[in-house]
Amino acid sequence: MIDPQKAKKGTILFTIGIIFNLLVSTVFFTGAYLLTEKANENRHEITELSKEKGLYVIEKVYGFFKGTGGDVRDDDPKIVAQQNQYDALHYDISLSFDIPNKSITGEWYMKANSLNDTLSVIYINLYDNMNVNSVAYANMTKLSNIYDDVRNIPNMQDLSYSRDKNYIIVKINDAVRSGENFVIKINYSGKPVQKGFDSFSFKELYGNMTIYNLSEPNWAPVWWPCKDLPDDKATTNMRLRCPNGMTGVSNGLLMDKEINEDGTVIYHWGTNYPIATYLVSIVVTKFSYWEDSYISLDGITKMPVVYYAFPKDSSKARVDWEDTPEMIRLFAERFGEYPFINEKYGMAEFGWTSGAMEHQTLTSMGYLLQTGDKRYDYVVAHELAHQWFGDALTLKNWKNIWLNEGFASYCEALWKEHQGGMEAYFTHMKSFDYGYFSGTVYDPPGFIDNPAIYATIYHKGAWVLHMLRGVLGDEPFFNAVRAYYERYKYGNAETSQLQEVFEEFYGSKLDWFFDQWVYKGTGRPRYEYSWKFEDFQNQKSSGVYTVRVLLRQVQKNDIEVYKMPVKITVSTAADDKEFTVFNDSREQTFNLTVDSAPKEIFIDKYGWILKKVAKGSYEG
């Protein structure tokens, strides 16, 4: 039987939560700045963008109520098992662009290592919007010479292939044995399609054509072949043949710049650090360029910090991005040296409005985020933090997306703490709490483009880390984060491994914490408290007082009792005294001793716990 009043109340609260989270997502995509000076300067553009993003939000709401969720590809486990018989080591990609037709032509190489003695069928992700013109193969281990450049391998063998379920299926006549390296070459062409957030686009902005991608979570194969699993990272070479006057930027270092007789320029970028396929990035357009530098913690390495902005935005971007080296140093001191210290860090504007994407070593920044007053400095901090959490240390699979976004959002608060102390830190954390979060932090029902769960992944994910800091204390917490990062740097991790590291520094199991906040719980404790006091041992004017605090949990949700250390502040005539108690039952009484007459009690005064609090009358 359902209580109609409770059902009605639950429906209203649920709907309000969805709408609120939707508004947050709308701001994320559209930006509050649409209503200020930039809007007046670009009224026509903004009108069109508002229509576009408004339709996007409507589509996502419709998708949510239909139950479609997000855009994470549901891979066939049998095909994934087949793909996991080889390890992608290196990709070499050459792209040219037909702007009038909005199409690309690519020459692609993959160097890989066989993990099986009988590897004869190779599955490569490539969506069927791309046409495959040829496939060739060479077993590098069996060649008489060693070839450092995969493009120089002579007499590669043409192979037969088939297309099915957005895979290229390559059949090798002579099976590759375990430990042997091989190379696949594919020539392809076609029109990339727009999927997910904006997988690949040709878009005119400020009168200039801009070509760019955003492949998260699994849309890289709409524009280049790859083994598109986040736990198989490889190095890359990217060659971008750009029309005269346009600059092509990508991950890693600029290795070469070749000017051709036809006026095109080939920008050759290369990475020495492994990169997940969804973090491979290109932006091709007319840019203003400048750079700064960051000095490594040991004082030895001077790393370029590079900036690419649309000419119209460059003066504002110079102001908004100038704190980047200071941010790099802050996070390096907190977590360990910047992970790509031998390459670069940079930012490049692209065709999004107010979103951004943490492409490895070169964040893509929405072009309405540059305002000249640093109002979006938290976005700069968020995307930079991903270089540690998401790029160097990558999620094992998309069930763990909060490990990317929760850490990056939490780093926004660390930047605010760096600027304004703990008060600014707590203020930023409180701004993440909307009073309601949908679904679980781990393995959410959909992806981050679902307005119902966006806030859960980003903001409740940040709260999980904030609460862990409260549980462990500052020094053990940051030691645990550094150890987690160092242990899995340049590789992949999942939530259970994060938990294991934190348990090492906590000194005991944290199942109770992760179950209620990450794996199972979707609500929060609702504390109801009351208190009274008396002179110590009932001796009048003793100057010592016993404060009896009755603490109840009265929530009606999926977790009967949230087990948490709770900080109770007793405000006295002399000063404030803070006590930490461990609340692990529905109702508990705590006796606290102070040396001045109590005036008021505060439960978790500063906000270490995601909670609701109400004061009641003392009983007992």
pLDDT digits (tens, 9 = 90+) for 190-240: 999 998 888 999 999 999 999 999 999 999 999 999 999 999 999 999 999
Cα distances (Å, whole numbers) of residue 210 to 53, 205, 307, 364: 18, 7, 16, 12
Sign of the torsion angle spanned by Cα atoms 41, 44, 47, 51: negative
Mean pLDDT of 453-458: 93
Structure confidence at residue 452 (pLDDT): 79
Give tens-digit pLDDT for 584-612: 999 999 999 999 999 999 999 999 999 99
DSSP string spanning 68-137?
A: ---------HHHHHHHTTEEEEEEEEEEEEETTTTEEEEEEEEEEEE-STTEEEEEEE--TTEEEEEEEE
pLDDT tier, 149 (very low <50, low <70, confident <90, very high otherwise):
confident
Mean pLDDT of 85-90: 98
- Tell me the CA end-to-end span of the chain in Å, nearest whole number: 35
Residues 425, 413 contacting (CB under 8 angstroms): yes
Structure confidence at residue 258 (pLDDT): 96
Domains of the chain: 77-286 (2.60.40.1730), 526-615 (2.60.40)
Give tens-digit pLDDT for 499-545: 999 999 999 999 999 999 999 999 999 999 999 987 655 555 667 89
Whole-model pTM: value is 0.89
Cα distances (Å, whole numbers) of residue 618 to 289, 533, 615: 66, 11, 9
Which among 291, 460, 295, 319 is positioned nearest to 377, based on CA atoms? 319
Structure confidence at residue 96 (pLDDT): 98
| pLDDT beyond 80 at 459 | yes
The CB density around residue 46, as the number of other CB atoms within 10 Å, is 20
Structure confidence at residue 539 (pLDDT): 54
pLDDT tier, 14 (very low <50, low <70, confident <90, very high otherwise):
very low
| pLDDT beyond 90 at 569 | yes
Mean pLDDT of 364-390: 97
Cross-strand bridge partners of residue 249: 283
Residue 445 has what DSSP assignment? Answer: S
Structure confidence at residue 465 (pLDDT): 98
Cα distances (Å, whole numbers) of residue 171 to 118, 123, 138, 225: 12, 9, 12, 16
Q: What residue has token string 């540059």? A: 370
Give tens-digit pLDDT for 465-507: 999 999 999 999 999 999 999 999 999 999 999 999 999 999 9
Distance of CA 482 to the CA centre of its chain: 18
Residues 376, 38 contacting (CB under 8 angstroms): no
| pLDDT beyond 90 at 614 | yes
Please tell me whether residue 316 adopts helix, strand or coil conformation: helix
State the Cα–Cα distance between residues 25 and 450, nearest whole angstrom.
9
Cross-strand bridge partners of residue 551: 529, 588
Angle of the 324-335 helix axis to the 474-488 helix axis, nearest 10: 100
pLDDT tier, 59 (very low <50, low <70, confident <90, very high otherwise):
very low
Integer-rounded Cα radius of gyration of the chain? 27
Q: What residue has token string 């044995």? A: 177
Give tens-digit pLDDT for 270-312: 999 999 999 999 999 999 999 999 999 999 999 999 999 999 9
State the Cα–Cα distance between residues 398 and 605, nearest whole angstrom.
35
Residues 259, 297 contacting (CB under 8 angstroms): no
Structure confidence at residue 447 (pLDDT): 79
